[in-house]
């Protein structure tokens, strides 16, 4: 059965680096927990003095609130179906929500406690958020927030997800500078409200040196990184802290193909493209410390529900045996973790997540 | 929170149609359970007199054996890491395994019970299996199987997964006829062993009329169908028996975009392509019976972890409200079910799966 391995040392090193980066810029690190989804790994952040987190759903907020977190931002637009869950979680921790429209606010008129509110700002990603230049809509939200004694306007949030589409460092820098600039302008325009600026995507948080007036960063994927982040330049191959262990299920020497037990329900269907071919995972070698980069580039190039295929894998097909476990760095660690639902550390300890 | 809705009537109709198709050709229907993954839905098959099933892992075999199934084929190449699980499951039901190499057989020398064995045949898919023409390897496997008193050679299995790549009905027919022809030739060549021919993919099983000497069919996806099957011509839009209910999380009228709560961890990242754009789900309208095809074609055209975006959705963006639940047919129901892990029937009943 495929197993998700976690190199705790690499993970702790990734956390420490980001803690130092944030501290170096006098920013609060409010890590996003959607990648690891684990109370135990959350505790590793606590050990570094982190006291606030970001999550992607109210369900996840409830899980981490129960695990002892007291300052949680739900970085997904609030919608009225979540009111009951919001209410129950806000009884046990300080919750902040994200909105990009006044339409959701009336549903928050009858809260029993206090909830923080950030306005989601779209600096060009084009997913959610108020466009940076739409100060009229921003003012409407702030005004309406002011009429609700249960809500407290905290500031502006931006996830510059278009970083993931950047084709070069220059493009990434352009996206970053535009996003930071837009947020700083809002901070200045609404300065009487002392808004906090919350910003974060793993590529920018891993690479950029100067964060201007940003108060908090919310990267998530950096806790493990993955092949997509590596391709973006966010990390070295040696920083990737999770690997999938998958047994060889079939060998086809005449086709130079190996089939492993490890498919779309383990890795997900997310891939990065490499010379026109999708890559779902990349082979690494077992080493004394855990795993290390392989000399040959061997990729999982197709997946079906349970199967993964290493096509055109060259001589490797003659070297492996049926049942032999191979190790792979995943293309997208967030989705792989979500599917695998538990980790095994290099010393054999099991770590659970929100989902089991 | 996104909810996976199941229209039991549509599902029962899909099952009944396939039962009748198989019976009409004097074939056994051995449905693949990897799509529904549910003991309760398995019982619906039992009600139609089905007594044998196909699964994609030993874990899934164990789940269905505990649910009362007594004849289970694990249609994933056996590898030695599964011996213990195989042994424990074979104590409570008749288990058959799939092999495509003699290499895995020595690990089965010390079983306590009897296990059936099918040889996986590759008729052109290029994933697993012995190539149809490699009768030397097939003979080696049969001979080695004969030396193990715990194994019983049952026949040949073929999943013609390249059906999913067929660009036309003609291509699909070519794949089908080649596969059936190859299997029939093997049946004739090894006739002294009375091998059973087991074949099945949902497109072919849904469309073809004449199955020659095939003894058993193993389609899986037909239980629900999905947009990918619809695009292949396997089903009508009205046959798709599952839909995702996702609340509106954001409205962006100037961009004609709606964002829903429903992303890669709900639908999966699998998509079909429609005029160069990926489609992760297609909007349907709520109707008195459940749902019905919408007049406008509105698609989920991008997903991130929790978000789905209906880009260029036209006038719809002005008609919906924040929090309003919308319904979508999924691109790939197997992966959506695997992620959602439970169903809600149209009359509000919860149905669990292998994973929760």
Segment B311-333, tens digit of pLDDT: 999 999 999 999 999 999 999 99
User: Are the C-beta atoms of A125 and A160 separated by less than 8 Å?
Assistant: yes
* CB < 8 Å to B268, chain A: 264, 268-269
What six digits make up the tokens of B152?
A: 């019983």
Neighbours of B169 (CB within 10 A): 12
Domains of chain A plus CATH, in order, are 8-223 (3.20.20.10), 237-352 (2.40.37.20)
Neighbours of B170 (CB within 10 A): 9
Neighbours of B221 (CB within 10 A): 25
> What's the pTM?
0.97
Strand partners, B250: B259
On the 0-12 / 13-18 / 19+ scale of CB atoms within 10 A, B53 is buried
Which residues, other chains included, contact B192 with Cβ-Cβ below 8 Å and sequence gap of 6+?
none
The 10s digit of each residue's pLDDT in A199-215 is: 999 999 999 999 999 99
* Inter-chain CB proximity B79 and A248 less than 8 Å: yes
Q: Which of A79, A101, A322 sits opposite B103 (nearest CB)?
A: A322
- pLDDT for B296 equals 82
Indicate the helix (H) or strand (E) that contains A176: helix A169-189
Is A334 part of the contact surface with chain B (CB cutoff 8 Å)? Answer: yes
> Closest residue of B to A308, CA-based?
B127
> Once rounded to an integer, what is the mean pLDDT over residues B234-240?
97
The 10s digit of each residue's pLDDT in B93-108 is: 999 999 999 999 999 9
- Residue for token pair 């992303």: B263
- Residue (of B162, B351, B321, B354) closest to B242 by Cα position: B351
- pLDDT for A296 equals 82
What six digits make up the tokens of B155?
A: 């026949």
Sign of CA dihedral B216, B219, B223, B225: negative
Shortest Cα distance from A163 to chain B (angstroms)? 13
- Residue for token pair 């395994």: B97
pLDDT range class, residue B62, cuts 50, 70, 90: very high
Q: Which of B56, B307, B322 sits opposite A305 (nearest CB)?
A: B56
Select from A79, A161, A220, A336 the residue whose CB has the most chain B CBs within 10 Å, as the one to mutate to test that interface: A79
Q: Which of B101, B247, B305 sits opposite A79 (nearest CB)?
A: B247
Question: ipTM value of the model?
Answer: 0.97
Instruction: In whole angstroms, give the CA distance from residue B59 to residue B79.
Output: 13
pLDDT range class, residue A245, cuts 50, 70, 90: very high
Residue A54 has pLDDT above 90, yes or no: yes
Strand A196-199 and strand A216-217: the pairing is parallel
Helix A83-90 × helix A58-66 angle, to 10°: 20
User: Are the C-beta atoms of A215 and A28 separated by less than 8 Å?
Assistant: yes
What six digits make up the tokens of B324?
A: 């309003």
Residue B3 has pLDDT above 90, yes or no: yes
> Closest residue of A to B336, CA-based?
A265
User: Are the C-beta atoms of A50 and A31 separated by less than 8 Å?
Assistant: yes
* Inter-chain CB proximity B323 and A356 less than 8 Å: no
Task: Tell me the pLDDT of chain A averaged across its residues.
Answer: 97
The 10s digit of each residue's pLDDT in A248-268 is: 999 999 999 999 999 999 999
Is B4 part of the contact surface with chain A (CB cutoff 8 Å)? Answer: no
* CB < 8 Å to A80, chain B: 322-323
Shortest Cα distance from A22 to chain B (angstroms)? 25
The DSSP secondary-structure symbol of A168 reads S
């Amino acid at each position: 059965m495929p197993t998700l391995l976690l190199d705790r040392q690499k993970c702790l090193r990734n956390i420490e680096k980001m803690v130092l980066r944030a501290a170096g810029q006098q920013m609060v690190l409010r890590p996003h927990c959607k990648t690891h989804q684990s109370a135990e790994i959350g505790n590793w952040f606590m050990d570094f003095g982190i006291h606030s987190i970001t999550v992607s759903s109210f369900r996840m907020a409830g899980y981490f609130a129960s695990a002892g977190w007291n300052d949680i931002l739900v970085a997904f637009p609030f919608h009225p179906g979540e009111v009951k869950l919001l209410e129950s979680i806000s009884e046990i921790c300080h919750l902040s929500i994200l909105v990009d429209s006044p339409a959701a606010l009336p549903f928050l008129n009858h809260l029993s406690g206090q909830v923080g509110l950030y306005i989601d700002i779209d600096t060009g990603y084009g997913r959610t958020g108020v466009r940076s230049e739409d100060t009229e809509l921003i003012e409407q939200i702030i005004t309406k927030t002011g009429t609700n004694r249960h809500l407290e306007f905290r500031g502006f949030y931006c996830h510059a997800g278009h970083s993931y589409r950047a084709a070069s460092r220059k493009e990434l820098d352009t996206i970053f500078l535009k996003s930071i600039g837009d947020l700083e302008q809002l901070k200045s325009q609404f300065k009487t409200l002392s808004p906090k600026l919350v910003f974060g995507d793993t590529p920018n948080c891993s690479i950029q040196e100067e964060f201007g007036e940003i108060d908090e960063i919310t990267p998530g994927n950096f806790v493990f990184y993955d092949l997509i982040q590596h391709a973006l330049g966010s990390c070295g191959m040696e920083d990737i802290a999770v690997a999938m262990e998958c047994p060889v299920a079939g060998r086809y020497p005449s086709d130079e193909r190996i089939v492993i037990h490890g498919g779309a329900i383990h890795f997900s269907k997310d891939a990065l493209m490499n010379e026109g071919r999708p890559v779902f995972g990349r082979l690494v070698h077992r080493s004394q410390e855990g795993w290390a980069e392989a000399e040959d580039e061997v990729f999982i190039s197709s997946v079906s529900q349970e199967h993964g295929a290493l096509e055109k894998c060259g001589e490797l097909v003659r070297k492996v045996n049926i049942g032999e476990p191979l190790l792979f760095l995943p293309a997208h660690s967030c989705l792989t973790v979500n599917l695998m639902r538990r980790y095994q550390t290099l010393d054999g300890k099991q770590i659970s997540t929100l989902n089991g």
